[in-house]
A and B are shown apart, each in its own frame.
Chain A
Amino acid sequence: MFRAVFRLSATGARSLARSRPCYSAPLASRCYSHGKVETDEEFDARWVTYFSKPDIDAWELRKGMNTLIGYDLVPEAKILDSALRACRRLNDLASAIRILEAVKDKAGPHKDIYPYLIQELKPTLSELGISTPEELGIDKL
């Protein structure tokens, strides 16, 4: 549900209204191309699985993040949680902080998304010892 809220395309209102009938019944005739449409939950699950790979390597982390940031959406907290844990497995704090910066940038003019995500990720951030860009002062010039 929240990912539908987070869709930031210019045709936002229109695609929001249109997307609901599609996602409740993936095989419904209302879909605009042949083939199944992936639901929000399936998308999230796929990405959580991608970052949860125990022996993920640095390239895969970078590739995954770059692809994810390329989408017209702000990733869910659980995907980011999985990505941050992947950074921990790779001993890469810089990437963890960068992920937080990137997500704030993705939210664009929607200023309430980033604080919400930080609030959701707070347990993970304290567990892994990741500081937010704001705590480090690198969000300012």
Chain B
Amino acid sequence: MLATRALRLVGKRAISTSVCVRGGHGVAKVEDYTLPNLSPEQASLKEKEKGSWAALSDEEKIALYRISFKQSFAEMTQGSSEWKSVVGGMFFLIGFTGLVVLWQRKYVYGPVPHTFEAEYKEKELQRVLDMRMNPVEGFASKWDYENKQWKK
């Protein structure tokens, strides 16, 4: 009766939780904390491990290490050259963005206002000086009104 009740619940659960019961995938993977299936040499090595470790050769010790651990610390913590791809990609995309901006300048934006024309700017400058804008320390203070030129 308990079994049928349990089976009904398994059916109602999402697929992922019912598969997890077998430890095939998920956070606590069973491969991470059990020994893998051992070949006959590995099995005999494991038997030898029960005796004195001084009797093991270096190769045997390394083989025992590799049974339990896929990568050594050195292999695990080594860097990669991925950063070069990342920086290269960054520069490329920034460059591409520059091209897009230039294209926009030419084909998307209309002309700048007439207030940017040289003739207009000259009249603007004259007006600024006539109004004595910032005469103490700012703009007009740099103009020599007697000699009609910029102060040296």
Contacts and interface: CB of A to CB of B under 8 A. Distances in A.
Partners in one complex: yes
Interface of A: 59, 62, 88, 91-95, 97-98, 101-102, 104-105, 128-131, 133, 135-141
Given A91-B49, A129-B55, A129-B56, A140 B65 contact: no
Given A93-B61, A93-B65, A104 B73 contact: yes
Nearest to A87: B53
Nearest to B65: A94
Interface in B39-87: 49-50, 52-56, 58, 61-62, 64-65, 67-69, 72-75, 77-78
Contacts of B150: none
B33 interface: yes
Contacts of B64: 93-94
22 contacts: A62-B33, A91-B49, A93-B65, A94-B65, A95-B68, A97-B61, A97-B65, A98-B68, A101-B72, A102-B73, A128-B53, A129-B52, A129-B53, A129-B54, A129-B55, A131-B58, A131-B61, A135-B58, A138-B65, A138-B74, A139-B72, A139-B73
Contacts, number: 60
B62 A93 contact: no
A97 B69 CA distance: 11
Given A139-B74, A141-B75, A94 B33 contact: no
B53 A130 contact: yes
Nearest to B50: A91
A136 B65 contact: yes
A136 B62 contact: yes
A135 B61 CA distance: 11
Given A93-B49, A93-B56, A98-B69, A140 B74 contact: yes
B56 A138 contact: no
Contacts of A93: 49, 53, 56, 61, 64-65
A131 B72 CA distance: 14
A136 B66 CA distance: 12
Q: Rank and list the top 9 A-B pairs by shortest CB-CB distance, nearest first.
A: A129-B54, A129-B53, A94-B68, A101-B73, A138-B72, A94-B65, A91-B50, A93-B64, A94-B64
